[in-house]
Amino acid sequence: MTRKVLTTSVDTPIEEAARVMADNKVGGLPVLRDDKVGGIITETDLFKILLEMMGARQMGVRVSVLVPNVAGRSHSSARPFSRLAATFWPGHVCRRGSLQFRAGLQGVRPDEATLKAVLEPLALQVKDIRTC
Do residue 72 and residue 109 come from a single domain?
yes
Report the 10 Å Cβ neighbour count for 57: 10
pLDDT score for 88: 61
Which residues form the domain of 125? 57-131
Averages of pLDDT over runs of 10 residues in the chain (132 residues) are: 88 95 96 95 94 75 75 54 60 61 67 80 82 76
Do residue 92 and residue 127 come from a single domain?
yes
State how far the Cα of 69 lies from the Cα of 73, in Å rounded to an integer: 8
pLDDT score for 101: 76
pLDDT score for 79: 60
pLDDT score for 117: 81
pLDDT score for 27: 95
Task: Examine residue 15 and state whether it is found in any structural domain, yes or no.
Answer: yes
Task: Examine residue 88 and state whether it is found in any structural domain, yes or no.
Answer: yes
Amino acid identity for residue 95 in this structure: R
Do residue 84 and residue 30 come from a single domain?
no
State how far the Cα of 34 lies from the Cα of 104, in Å rounded to an integer: 44
pTM over 0.85: no
Task: Examine residue 2 and state whether it is found in any structural domain, yes or no.
Answer: no
Cα–Cα nearest to 87, from 105, 74, 99: 105
